[in-house]
Amino acid sequence: MKYLAILTVCLTGALTSYGQSKDKVFTHADTLRGKITAERAWWNVTKYDIAVKPDYKGKTISGSNVITYKTIAGNGTTPLQLDLRAPLMIDSVILNGSEKLPFSQEGNVWHVKVPQQKKSTNHKLAVFYHGAVHEAIRAPWDGGWTFTTDSLGRPWMTVTCQGEMGASVWYPCKDDQSDEPDNGASLTMIVPDTLVAVANGRLEYKMNNPDGTATYKWAVINPISNYCIIPYIGKYVNFNDTYAGEKGKLDIGYWVLDYNLAKAKTYLPNEVNHMLKAFEYWMGPYPFYEDSYKLIDAPHTGMEHQSAVAYGNYYKPGYRGRDGSGTGWGMKWDFIIVHESGHEWFGNNITTNDLADMWVHEGFTNYSETLYTDYRFGKEAGDAYNAGTRKGIRNDKPIIPVYDVNAQGSGDMYPKAGNMIHAIRHGLNDDERFRRIIRGLNKTFYHQTVTTKQVENYVSKQAGFDYSKVYDQYLRTTQLPKLEYYFDQDHKKVSFRYTNCVEGFNLPLTLKNAAVKVRVVPTSNWTTINLKNGEADVFNTDKIVSQYYLNVAEVKP
């Protein structure tokens, strides 16, 4: 998603001001926004068909969303909750093409009085709305529309809306990550015919209208998160490519501003090919072959919009020419292409039900950077990159905050969760098995929304070790565990334990060099083991720290 790992390094201030503060008092409005309320629980979205006409000069939009849904249960007298953020206003709601429904407003929530509907029936709710746009102050870290100009002064518009604001900042929907439209979504945009409109998936049609506007309709057929459905409107041109991948021919589209065309052609395909090769190897087939893969020039740094990844990295390696890991490895590839595309697997393919579990998106995607580095430049490069990202860890608050109020945890969900995954991999010391686990996650939870527990349990089960205390430690506390060890006089025995950790913390460690390998499972009690020749050498503080996110110290007996 949007809080890039590197930002925990260079934009700490922005994260603090835009993230929820430690002492936030949650309100009824937060519950309406973040919980599956009774008014959300009885229906399941199967499709969104959104149409918008933005007015660039007036900074307003008018539009509609035809929401196709299936009733999970009969609704009785329970209304239907829609989310749409002020100052946008709902004008009318039409059920199944003819019946105009009454509704009332409660802040950013709209209660629609639907007639009684039976269980397992399908309906269409057409919602018409208009109003002034909510502008993103600092996209992509703040939600809303960006109405800006390109470097030649021509109109350029898009939206960012993950997290606190959500998609209801620009269209009416059930604004909860747990309910993705099962059969996909379409986005129709009416724009001046001098501009080009791009969105997710494939272009269904473009039509010129007599009034000097043009209509573009784009659609995906796969489930998609609300915040991933995004318009891009500007002076776009495009070129196409294909990639021979694990599921066959993957269509690739590059949509760039006209003046970027030449450099895009020489730069983007090479970077994208490397990315797809590394990611399909480690994480399995790209999850949206049917909808294609696209990179689209954006006026902000970047976002993982499904099959329409926003790109604003200046056609430079690193993060706009900087390496957040400080190791040099981050300058060997384009951070936005790698990170935001990594989300196609973790975030878009596997989506969490609650924003609180967002580490599944950001931790694994942060880790995809390590996997990419490893694939292209070797294991030691991956280790170095991963350890380098630690300088962004703040241990300010837990990665997983409270549930049901649309709360978001610490920015540590990027590098710290990425380091936790790396520690699990090193302890496992079996990369083939580890790769099966990462690919297995993407296969088992293919196009699903999940809880952190499902992911945690899957990894434990497939790895053959119960990591529940390891997850608790890194995801639910701010403590950094310490490994203490000492040798007996002639280095024939070593004793070790963890301190500063949760009860039962037991991260397994595989310590090795070219000659010997020792696997230990320390706990908070001292354990002593006998050492064979050469084995004492692997108890090396610097080496252990380079592979495991721990404090490590050789202490006196």
What does the binding site for Zn ion look like in residue numbers (CB under 5 A)?
Answer: 1, 365
| Euclidean distance between CA atoms 542 and 533, whole angstroms | 21
The DSSP code for 50 is E
Tell me which amino acid residue 480 is.
L
| Euclidean distance between CA atoms 506 and 496, whole angstroms | 12
Q: Which residues have CB under 8 Å from 304's CB, separation 6+?
A: 1, 2, 228, 310, 340, 341, 342, 343, 344, 347, 348, 365
Min dist CB 383 to Zn ion, Å, is 21
Torsion (CA) 202, 204, 209, 213 in degrees, nearest 10: -20
Phi, psi of 385 (to 5 degrees): -60, -50
Min dist CB 1 to Zn ion, Å, is 4
Contact at 8 Å (CB) between 241 and 252?
yes
Min dist CB 343 to Zn ion, Å, is 6
Min dist CB 303 to Zn ion, Å, is 8
C-beta of 302 vs 481, nearer to Zn ion: 302
Contact at 8 Å (CB) between 505 and 427?
no
Min dist CB 74 to Zn ion, Å, is 40
C-beta of 1 vs 417, nearer to Zn ion: 1
| Residue 317 token pair | 């390696």
Contact at 8 Å (CB) between 534 and 491?
no
Min dist CB 352 to Zn ion, Å, is 13
C-beta of 174 vs 339, nearer to Zn ion: 339
Q: Are strands 122-132 and 517-520 parallel, antiparallel or unpaired?
A: unpaired
Place of tokens 């909808």: 291
C-beta of 35 vs 320, nearer to Zn ion: 320
Min dist CB 20 to Zn ion, Å, is 17
C-beta of 1 vs 393, nearer to Zn ion: 1
Nearest-CA neighbor of 188 among 175, 171, 176, 165? 171
Looking at the DSSP bridge assignments, the partners of residue 135 are: 145
Min dist CB 285 to Zn ion, Å, is 21
C-beta of 166 vs 172, nearer to Zn ion: 166
Min dist CB 308 to Zn ion, Å, is 15
Element (H, E) at 510: strand 509-512
Residue 449, SS3? strand
C-beta of 365 vs 442, nearer to Zn ion: 365
Give residue number: closest CB to Zn ion.
1
Q: What is the separation of C-alpha 380 from the centre of its chain, rounded to a whole number of angstroms?
A: 26
| Euclidean distance between CA atoms 288 and 370, whole angstroms | 23
Q: Which residues have CB under 8 Å from 144's CB, separation 6+?
A: 133, 134, 135, 136, 137, 159, 160, 161, 165, 169, 170
C-beta of 117 vs 162, nearer to Zn ion: 162
C-beta of 1 vs 309, nearer to Zn ion: 1
Nearest-CA neighbor of 414 among 376, 370, 446? 370
Min dist CB 304 to Zn ion, Å, is 6
C-beta of 232 vs 414, nearer to Zn ion: 414
Looking at the DSSP bridge assignments, the partners of residue 350 are: 346, 448
